[in-house]
Amino acid sequence: MDKSWMPMAKTPDGRLSRPYIEGVNTFINFARSVLDLSGNIPCPCIHCVNCYQQSLQIVRIHLCHRGIMQSYVNCYNHGEPRVLNENIHDNEMSDGDHMGGIDALVGDRIRGEPRNATEDEEVRHFDKLEEDAKRELYPGCTDYNILKFVIEMLNVKVMTNLSNKGLDMMLELLTKVLPKDNLVPRSTYEAKKILRDLGMSYEHIDACKNDCALFWKENENLDKCPVCETPRYKDTRAQGKKIPHKVLRYFPLTPRLRRLYMSGQRAKDMRWYINKRVDDGIMRHPADSEEWKEFDLQHPDFALEPRNVRLGLATDGFNPFGNMNNNYSMWPVILIPYNLPPWLVMKEPYFMLSLLIPGPHQPGNEIDTYLKPLVDELKELWEEGVEIYDAYSKEHFQMRATLLWTIHDYPGFGNVSGWRTKGYHSCYTCNDEPYSEALESKIGFINHRAYLPMEHRWRHSQLHNGLSEKRKRSLELQVGKIQEQLDRMPNIILGKHPSTKKRQLIGEPNWSKVSILYKLPYWKNKKLKHNIDVMHVEKNISESIYGTLLGIEGRNKDTDKARIDLQNMNFRHTLHLKQRSDGSYDKPRAFFSLSPNERDGFYDFLKSIKYPDGYAANISRY
């Protein structure tokens, strides 16, 4: 296939020229041989980089609007046959701006030898890119390699709000100042291209300022929100590039999973749970859980391929500016591949940032709007999968992926699952039969001893509400019951626009929406869909216990209202408030609390312990 038209994609005029358009049409016709069941092919534009299946018309638009990636010399993904032992010389490519990834940056300055195309060329090419990215920035430099330098420079650009032109000028100056033969990128474009070819790129998706919809796929060319009709851009009359109100950063999942199998050692580790895990009834890994085993029974075709990926999803809000007085909340969505062994699975290098949901306010129920790109990709990875090269077994295989469960704190659980975490029905496990009652200024859940084993001693203790607990409840909520409730849910319109809020309804008993995760074919049959982050539970309960024992202001749960609740329940009379003759109340000391002298002695003990930096300062605040 003739590829002489590809270099014309560098400039807008070139992409509008007749030879380039004719070349695109020839390429589209040539690629019809790899159409999938939906009539789509991999899109080789500089944004999709063969990671997204698009229709032929969309691919034609992308290639004419964005241009084809210049590193796509051998069109294997579009029907061109692989040629073994073919010598491909770097000097046969076009100039540095047209070459892909690190090739664009260093070219013959680093390598100087021909690259052989073998059966595992894809892996060898990636290894070469990774090796080049770790080269020293200039001869004798020990502090920075190319990749570290690029990441820190782009971080400086973001933190200082530096323009692309400003960063280009800075890079040009560094190129002149540093020793000769340095590998500093010549422009912002080259710096970003290094990350993109290593699978670290992301996609900008404009969003409605009211979180109603994304300007993506069928809404890509709209200038107003299809739900609330709010303008897409801040200033619609401005000349030049328009600035959207909100931008979602989407990091495609498939390239990151592909990267795991490009390393022979990591590809071997991805089979650890099936090859080396000891199944002795002790839970050391998610593969030991009942949910994992139940999923294998429900989907045996998925379980037959041990290289298929099982994922967990975690999300929470944080303040990116580090100033807690600044009311801003940004929500990252992280994916964790559970195939890895336990000493790797929770390590930071294997956390995959999938979405970066913008602020300034938390998305709430509208998080479903931002999860659409990820859910669509997860659905595609489940139904069709993607062909990936396994560097350990040195073969291609069709990899599929599934989402096992999600992990959040309790408010985040309410946002993702659709179950409201406020009110008398806020306990998800109790569902429509809650063990809740009104206390002074709050709703209390004090009858959950019904979930304990019948022989548990707390069932017969009268320290909780003065009564023994004889009821029995199961912690397992029936999947069919949940599905029946969701089937009765009214149509919920997402969005924070006032006109949208008026049309929203709440389903019974406490549902606020049907989660977008139910679009995944396997989701509704899962028993365990959501997990509460143990860190938040331990932290909050521990703070409450120690705050009550030590009488810490703001963390003490032994309040006057709690004593009134005991009086209303008519038990633990020694702790009731005693009214004085002048109308005030005397609060009897509880047996579990420390006196002021005992508390001061406890503080002195804590301060005498040698802690890592920062912990002693936290203790002194109390």
Last residue of a domain, one of 386, 415, 444: 415
Rounded to the nearest 10 degrees, how much is the dihedral formed by the CA atoms of 145, 147, 151, 156? 40
Amino acid at 221: N
Label residue 124 by pLDDT band (50, 70, 90): low
What's the mean per-residue pLDDT of the chain? 81
Last residue of a domain, one of 62, 81, 100: 81
Q: What are phi and psi of 532, to 5 degrees?
A: -90, 130
451, part of any domain: no
pLDDT in tens, 452-472: 999 898 888 877 778 888 888
Nearest 5°: phi and psi at 536?
-65, -40
Domain that holds residue 584: 539-620
pTM attached to this predicted model: 0.71
Residue 358 lies in a domain: yes
Read off the tokens for 155: 């971080």
The mean pLDDT value for 136-149 works out to 78
**496 domain-assigned:** no
How many structural domains does the chain have?
3
User: Are 406 and 543 part of one and the same domain?
Assistant: no
pLDDT for the residue numbered 128: 66
Residue 405's beta-bridge partner residues?
A: 312
Is residue 532 assigned to a domain?
Answer: no
3-state DSSP assignment of residue 172: helix
552 is a domain residue = yes
- Examine residue 598 and state whether it is found in any structural domain, yes or no: yes
**Neighbour tally for 375: CB within 10 Å:** 18
Please give the pLDDT value at position 401. 96
Who contacts 346 (Cβ-Cβ below 8 Å, separation ≥6)?
336
User: Which of 71-85, 405-419, 429-443, 547-561 has the lowest average pLDDT?
Assistant: 71-85
How confident is the model over 540-568, as pLDDT tens digits? Answer: 888 888 888 888 878 888 888 988 988 88
Question: For residue 297, what pLDDT is reported?
Answer: 93
Single out the residue in 377, 397, 415 at which a domain terminates.
415
pLDDT digits 0-9 by tens, 563-607: 898 888 888 888 899 888 888 888 888 888 888 788 788 777 777
Same domain, 411 and 551: no
In 3D space, the residue among 88, 72, 89 whose CA is nearest the CA of residue 80 turns out to be 72
Hey, what's the torsion of the CAs at 16, 22, 26, 28, to 10 degrees?
30
3-state secondary structure 289-343: CHHHHHHHHHCHHHHCCCCCEEEEEEECCECCCCCCCCCCCEEEEEEEECCCCHH
Domain presence at residue 566? yes
| Residue-level pLDDT at 87 | 37
Q: Are residues 410 and 558 in the same domain?
A: no
Give the mean model confidence (pLDDT) for residues 143-150: 79
Q: Are 257 and 400 found together in one domain?
A: yes
Q: Is residue 377 part of a domain?
A: yes
